[in-house]
Structure 1
Amino acid sequence: MDFRRLWLADAVSQLGTRMTFLAAPLLAVLSLNASTFEVALVRTCESLGYLLIGLVAGAWVDRVRCRPVLLTTDYGRAVLMLTVPAAALFGVLTLWQLYVVMFAVGVLTVFFDVAHQSYLPRLLPADKLVDANAKLAANASVAALTGAGAGGFLVQLLTAPFVFVLDALSMVWSALWVRSIKHREPPVPRVPDRHLGREIREGVRFVARHPLLRPIALNTATVVLCQSAGMGVSIVFLVRDIGLSAGVIGVLGVIGLVGALLASALTRRLVAWLGQVRALLLGAACIGPAFLAQAFTTPGWGLTWWVASGFVASFCIVLTNIVMATVRQTVCPPALLGRVNATMELTVFGVVPMGSLLGGVLGTVLGTRATLLSTGAVACLGVIWLVTAPAARRTEIVGAAG
């Protein structure tokens, strides 16, 4: 019952976040006349928090109960989101305000995400984690499907700033469901002679020395760097090079992200059939070629490249994310889980601002299509970190958190 409440909290919150993920760059392009580099900066600000404080957040979350962190960050993000439509209503919205709001929301999201991932093993036994992670991934998939399409149409209907109101309401929804969870975590025991730097090093060292977490982190960093560079120019590419409207971009996202929903439903069977490690390798091997296919998109029937790319990439990203989350929740001692989660998330979101900036620079110098082509080609190399690791010869994860 408590997991159901957490699942319901996550479901609508994910939907609001996905709509804003599309609305923020569209707001910059359509309402604030941002350049390619300025649009990339919106993505950079949104993800910069992980790079700056991700490891600190992980160490801090290991010291406290997770539920109050989830509540505080939900309410805080809701208030921040409402400042965008308020400024737009009075005609004073600027790119700089958008940058500041997205940065502040991103910082709170760092704490929310680390606490959310650390909270799940406190609610459920280890043998329920794959199924629970798959259900949470299904939330993200459904949100991506409906949020991408709804976000595009709502931008046209309400204008981009007012989509932020819906995201704020989704954060309040999340907080109300988290408040209804009856399970109460015991207080985290105080450890004498605590030292934040030492605690951070313990989490980083665990990942660096683990035979599977280390190659997963390196693969993720490579792929996400290229993905974020491509995404930094994708809206500009579709609007200015291909000539699409916000609504059509939303429809393309809905069609392509069907793969994410399918992966949420099939991952448990794939893991049972292939084993966790082989399922991870399969997904990781296909992500790079899917990104590369985006560069071949043209108007008309050439949009098929974008749709097919979105389908395959979304399927494989969700598959690998479910397996990766289960791996670290399984192999990591509970006292280290917040720090390990933060370290692993740093390889995802910590490189996003660098990738977004890289995409902005490459898009300005080379053009958007050449940027998609080059970043997709490099993303194909990310799987090398996994296939060359000795742990890749296994089929199942050995050892449980203790």
Structure 2
Amino acid sequence: MGKGGSRPGRRRRGSAGDVPRRAGLLRERGFRLYWSAQSVSLVGDEISFLAVPLAAVLLLDAGAAEMGWLTAAELLPSLLLSIPGGAWADRRTNRRGAMIVADIGRFAAVASLPLAYAFGALTMAHLYVAAFAVGSLTVLFRVCNHHVYASVVAAERYVDGNALLSGSRSVAALAGPSTGGAMVQALSAPFALLMDALTYLVSAGCLGRIRSQEAPPAPRGEGGLAGGLRWVTAHRTPALLLAGVATLSLCQTLTTTLFVLYGTTELSLSPGAIGAVFAVFGIGGLAGAYAAPRVVRRIGIGPAIVTGFLCFSLPLLLVPLADGPAAWVIATLAAAYLGAGCGVAVLDISANSYLIAVIPPTLRSRVMGVVQTANFGVRPIGAVLAGTLGTALGLRTTLWIGTAGAVLSVLWVLASRLHRVRELPELPAHQARAEDVERAL
């Protein structure tokens, strides 16, 4: 988002022009290819999100502790590699090429699972190794991603571009789990994983056709490995935002890690029913993606971020409340994920637009490495905690701890000045020094 993207008083409310503006972005070849690559990969991710844990539970009889370690294996690279990966990416001239390599590597790692199953050699150890490999390559993909995004989207259209991407994420959340659940139930988890693997090849093909000029590499010696961390800690508003993101992500992981086990064992839901519940999350996400640009223009970027935090976390309190007849359980879970899906879309669109706009381009990957550490790096900790607490305290009690902590995460953002920020700084990010950006905020 750029110079006027979040000025609620200078744009028409009700914005009938929202849809044409986003459609205009899709007519631009570079963004269309980028959006297509992201969209098809997201569908595959959602299929594997359900198929991998179901493979562990249904094929290998995994328990709570093993489910925790499986989730941790995929997310541990976010904790270990995001900051050094960001420093590496900032010094590259072709981050798009690195994203293509990451896609091909993820294809190979995921495709190895159905291949092993076909030969009767699938084990939990193989699942751990494949999950760690996919997680490592995903870190590489993500730290390069914002450079490519900024090369195909003008600054003043960041919110609209992120809204389209969030819409794709929501469609994937809607179609992926239900498709994955149906595939697992009718065919097998390995077959669903094969479909996921192929989506990475499609993504790599789309990225390979993009022709855009990325930001130049950072000069050697500028900030070094810790440059992104120093930028974040020097700026109170982004630092407290990331503290809130880390807390929300940690607590939400407690819920997601155990949800499949909770649904299948304590609630007696079928794979298809679990997939349908996750699909409702996508419906909420579509609503949130449609509403987010209007919310930002009406109340401002900071209040939109606070709204996203609350709308994401509060509905999740319904998850440990689910009990009774199957129809009531499914309705309760559907309401939780409908609201959470809407909230996370508003949060993602507003927070991503804010961060892309205020981070200096020469520090973009390093700062985004810190962001990925805050968002994804804490998740292996949450996954291990989920397995430990789930075994010691029970699944429902652990879910209560996770959902209550997620609600309280907004206190970090309220302690900052972000909720008073209505528009982004006028100074273009590519000209801004760190101290100028902080003064503008």
The correspondence of residues 346-385 of structure 1 with structure 2, limited to 5 A, is 346-385=373-412
Unaligned runs of 5+ in 1: none
The Cα of 1:305 is off from its aligned counterpart by 2.0
The Cα of 1:288 is off from its aligned counterpart by 2.5
1:267 maps to what in 2? 292
2:23 maps to what in 1? none
Corresponding position: 1:292 with 2:299: no
- Counterpart residue type for residue 5 of structure 1: L
For residue 152 of structure 1, the aligned residue among 154, 157, 181 is 181
Please give the alpha-carbon distance, in whole angstroms, between the structure 1 residues aligned to 2:78 and 2:176: 23
- Counterpart residue type for residue 125 of structure 2: W
For residue 389 of structure 1, the aligned residue among 393, 412, 416 is 416
Please give the alpha-carbon distance, in whole angstroms, between the structure 2 residues aligned to 1:238 and 1:41: 19
2:353 maps to what in 1? 326
Is the Cα–Cα contact under 8 Å of residues 292 and 375 in structure 1 kept in the other structure? no
Aligned residues: 398
Is the Cα–Cα contact under 8 Å of residues 211 and 391 in structure 1 kept in the other structure? no
Please give the alpha-carbon distance, in whole angstroms, between the structure 1 residues aligned to 2:292 and 2:189: 35
Please give the alpha-carbon distance, in whole angstroms, between the structure 2 residues aligned to 1:127 and 1:394: 17
Deviations along 1:17-69, one digit per CA (max 9) or x if unpaired, are 11001111100000000111101211111111110111011111101121111
- Counterpart residue type for residue 343 of structure 1: V
2:254 maps to what in 1? 229
Most deviating of 254-263 and 89-98? 254-263
Is the Cα–Cα contact under 8 Å of residues 118 and 341 in structure 1 kept in the other structure? no
For residue 335 of structure 2, the aligned residue among 297, 301, 308 is 308
1:119 maps to what in 2? 148
Deviations along 1:308-340, one digit per CA (max 9) or x if unpaired, are 110111111111111111111111111001111
- Counterpart residue type for residue 63 of structure 1: R
Please give the alpha-carbon distance, in whole angstroms, between the structure 1 residues aligned to 2:153 and 2:176: 29
Most deviating of 169-178 and 39-48? 39-48
Corresponding position: 1:245 with 2:270: yes
Corresponding position: 1:99 with 2:124: no
2:76 maps to what in 1? 48
**Alpha carbon RMSD of aligned pairs, Å?**
1.4
- Counterpart residue type for residue 337 of structure 2: G
The change in CA–CA distance for 1:183 and 1:390 in structure 2 (over 3 A counts) is closer
Sequence identity (%): 34
Please give the alpha-carbon distance, in whole angstroms, between the structure 2 residues aligned to 1:392 and 1:200: 31
Please give the alpha-carbon distance, in whole angstroms, between the structure 2 residues aligned to 1:352 and 1:76: 22
1:206 maps to what in 2? 231
Is the Cα–Cα contact under 8 Å of residues 134 and 268 in structure 1 kept in the other structure? yes
Is the Cα–Cα contact under 8 Å of residues 277 and 397 in structure 1 kept in the other structure? no
The Cα of 1:186 is off from its aligned counterpart by 7.0
- Counterpart residue type for residue 21 of structure 1: F
Please give the alpha-carbon distance, in whole angstroms, between the structure 1 residues aligned to 2:282 and 2:162: 18
2:117 maps to what in 1? 88
Is the Cα–Cα contact under 8 Å of residues 232 and 357 in structure 1 kept in the other structure? no
- Counterpart residue type for residue 257 of structure 2: G
- Counterpart residue type for residue 62 of structure 2: A
Unaligned runs of 5+ in 2: 1-28, 431-441
- Counterpart residue type for residue 385 of structure 1: W
Deviations along 1:85-108, one digit per CA (max 9) or x if unpaired, are 010000010000000001001000
Please give the alpha-carbon distance, in whole angstroms, between the structure 1 residues aligned to 2:409 and 2:330: 26
- Counterpart residue type for residue 155 of structure 1: V
1:181 maps to what in 2? 210
Is the Cα–Cα contact under 8 Å of residues 147 and 214 in structure 2 kept in the other structure? no
Please give the alpha-carbon distance, in whole angstroms, between the structure 2 residues aligned to 1:184 and 1:262: 33
Please give the alpha-carbon distance, in whole angstroms, between the structure 1 residues aligned to 2:156 and 2:304: 18
For residue 14 of structure 1, the aligned residue among 42, 48, 52 is 42
The Cα of 1:209 is off from its aligned counterpart by 2.1
- Counterpart residue type for residue 282 of structure 1: T
Secondary structure (helix, strand or coil) at the match of 2:98 reads helix
The Cα of 1:269 is off from its aligned counterpart by 0.9
Is the Cα–Cα contact under 8 Å of residues 144 and 365 in structure 2 kept in the other structure? yes
Corresponding position: 1:163 with 2:192: yes
1:26 maps to what in 2? 54
Please give the alpha-carbon distance, in whole angstroms, between the structure 2 residues aligned to 1:134 and 1:234: 28
- Counterpart residue type for residue 366 of structure 2: R
Deviations along 1:162-205, one digit per CA (max 9) or x if unpaired, are 2111111100000111111122547636x34x38xx52321011
The change in CA–CA distance for 1:80 and 1:123 in structure 2 (over 3 A counts) is same
The Cα of 1:8 is off from its aligned counterpart by 0.8
- Counterpart residue type for residue 29 of structure 1: V
Please give the alpha-carbon distance, in whole angstroms, between the structure 1 residues aligned to 2:232 and 2:66: 35
The Cα of 1:377 is off from its aligned counterpart by 1.1
Please give the alpha-carbon distance, in whole angstroms, between the structure 2 residues aligned to 1:77 and 1:234: 25
Secondary structure (helix, strand or coil) at the match of 1:175 reads helix
The Cα of 1:386 is off from its aligned counterpart by 0.9
The Cα of 1:157 is off from its aligned counterpart by 2.2
